[in-house]
Amino acid sequence: MKIKLLLGIFLSIFVQTNLFAQLSPWCGTDQYLKAQVDSNPSLALEMHEQLLRASSGVLIDGDREDYIIPVVVHVLHDNGTGNISNEQILSGIQMLNEDFNRTNEDASETRETADAPFMGYAAGMGIRFELAKIDPEGNCTNGIQRRNVGSQSYNAGNNAKHDNSGGLDAWNRNYYFNIWIVNSIQSDGAGTILGYAEFPYSGGSSNYGVIIRNDAYGTTGTASGDRTLSHEVGHCLGLLHTFQGGCHSDACDGNGDYCCDTPPVAEPLWSCITTQNSCDDIPTGDTYGFNAVDQFENFMSYSPCQNMFSEDQKTIVHSNLSSITFLSNLVDPANNEAAGVGMPAILCKAQFESDYPVICAGGALAFRDDSYNNVTEWNWTFEGGSPASSTAENPVINYTEPGIYSVTLEVSDGISTVSTTIDSYVIVLADPGFGLPYSQNFETITSVPDFSHFLVMDEDNDAIWSLTDLAGYSGTHSAFLENRGVNNGTLDELISGSLDLSGVDVEDELIFTFKYAYIKRNSGNDEWLRFYISKDCGETWALRKNIHGDALSSESQNSAYTPSSQDEWYTVAITNIYSEYFTSGFRYKFQFENDNGNNIYIDDINIYSASMVSIPENERLALVEVYPNPTLGETTIRLQTTANQVVLVEAYNSLGERVDVILNGDLTSGTHSLIWNTEGLATGIYSVRVIAGDEIQTIRVVKG
């Protein structure tokens, strides 16, 4: 009965707090904890019992004041958006060290008044945070990982903490403290979440650590300078909110936030009003012995005036560092040595990055040195670049010729020199790109990706868009994504090379058609196929088509899907490509989002302007018209002859190969109609050539 009562009280604390936090829960930790407790109710009791012991101080092993916590920072960005600088990352580490050791500039703002006597109870934790210098494999590191994950950097959750769901795996929590930096965090409609943490109780999990928005991390770059990072790390080390449980008069070391020197607060508050006193109750054993005002300066509050931890909070943290196995391993001096912290930084690796090294010819790339440590000299070599070399720390390089190029960086600290070369790092696409009419049936290219016709983007480092001979609409090949049973919500993209639309008249209509074959794995799948276009060689993208759920396919089968006939292919026409996109660096891409579904195939991509279906080779002749055009099956060719003569009518594909002889014979003077059956032809653009005597006329015909 006692256990059930304690469990019920503890659960009610978090349910109550969660309801309050709906107002503006910039910290998502309570919501995250509630979800954990819902799936593992025993966690609540385990937390309560650990906090009871921790708050008493009996778990502290000696009077150690020199803890070092090795840190690894995982940066997840979207083609450079959110890819914060090393300087900003270091500013976050500096913030932690100042706040946890009470060397922060605003420490003097802690109140010491009759109704707020807090200065004497403000504590330095004696904890130093340091970026790791040795990674789990024993290699040198700067403690920073980066990954371009595209859309996965937004609305992020625990998926950001795992490589196979579009994030970065945690380094072993026994040796490293993990921080994930993203563009935004999933809130389930509760408002803006700046960060959330996992408590260390019940042994922690593979998700242990802090996830935080880049604009809430550190003091420079994109950061606002708030204390979200210190707040969330406090949770990771075992501290609750100062408003946990609201007002109460029970024992202060066994209720609320389990701290007697942090007066209870009724609910999450976001003010710095010095007279603010939201609770009339005085907890049993309260440090101050009277109804002190709210301690809004505490880092575990929601106030914008945070500047302190308390002595009782320090007791809980030190107790947890002594008694929770993985935390005691984390701060063990022997393990610190394995992570390289507490040691002088030495130059050990040359490393560089460009946010998205794919450009069109004539463009420029900005390179960033990420080498470590103590670099004083840089020597870059850029194959195909201009200039071909540089001694700048972060150079900007122009590329004028299409190709695939390597980059070399050599760095020195004045004593040692190290270098690295990355082959095929820069991809420069043609500008102008492929011209119109454009047709791609995947029969003549040899691979996908080929870094000319197509590139790919893969968020989960798993299956990618590739070339397959399993199926094709008009031939034997198509683009293929092996997707059966993939259920991590990540995106895969098939991205074109550059196309030249600069010659299309701004008054003309551009038509884009393609075919896809897809079937669900089960009826509940809601997978998405999106179509985007770019006018600036892929620097920015505009969505033009969404197809998902039953609109993508209403059929389902559990086994891996391969289309067996042309009837299984869907035709899509994109007509909202406007004149602002008629550039020499036009690109398009298909984006697929998985949901435990099935395989998908794309084939017979065509781009043409409306005027191309009726451009004669010889403007003097007006012998022929074709309708309907575009056509899906039969089309009519209408001819006018002025005399009896031999007429040859032939059809050619986009490669110049003759695919049909429609007529080869005598026609009398007058108007004639020929029926041309195109059902057996692949989707694409064809030329119908009419030869009558010495007169020739050609009309483009689009087969949809």
With helix as H, strand as E and coil as C, how does 457-505 read? EECCCCCCCEEECCCCCCCCCEEEECCCCCCCCCEEEEEECCECCCCCC
What residues act catalytically?
232
> What tokens were used for 622?
């007006």
In DSSP terms, 150 is beta-bridged to none
User: Residue 236 in contact with residue 253, Cβ under 8 Å?
Assistant: no
Cβ atoms 242, 313 nearer than 8 A:
no
* Residue count (the chain): 704
Q: How far is it, in rounded angstroms, from Cα 691 to Cα 538? A: 43
Structure tokens at 366: 């900005």
Asked if residue 359 lies in contact with residue 428, where contact means CB atoms within 8 angstroms, the answer is: yes
Residue 588: name the closest of 529, 548, 631, 632 by CA: 529
Strands 684-692 and 695-703, sheet pairing: antiparallel
464-489: buried (b, 16+ CB within 10 Å) or exposed (e) per residue?
Answer: bbebbeebbbbeebbbbbbbbebebb
* Residues forming beta bridges with residue 685, ordered by sequence position: 702
Would you list the DSSP string of 324-383? SHHHHHHT-HHHHHHHTTTS-----B--EE-S--EEETTEEEE-EE--BS---EEEEEET
Q: Which residues contact 616 (CB under 8 A, 6 or more apart)?
A: 622, 624, 697, 698, 699
Largest CA distance in the chain: 117
Q: Output phi, psi for 145, to 5 deg.
A: -115, 145
How far is the C-alpha of 33 from the C-alpha of 240, rounded, in Å? 11
Give the amino acid at 493: E
CA distance linking residue 299 with residue 276, whole number of Å:
17
Supply 374's token pair.
Answer: 């103590």
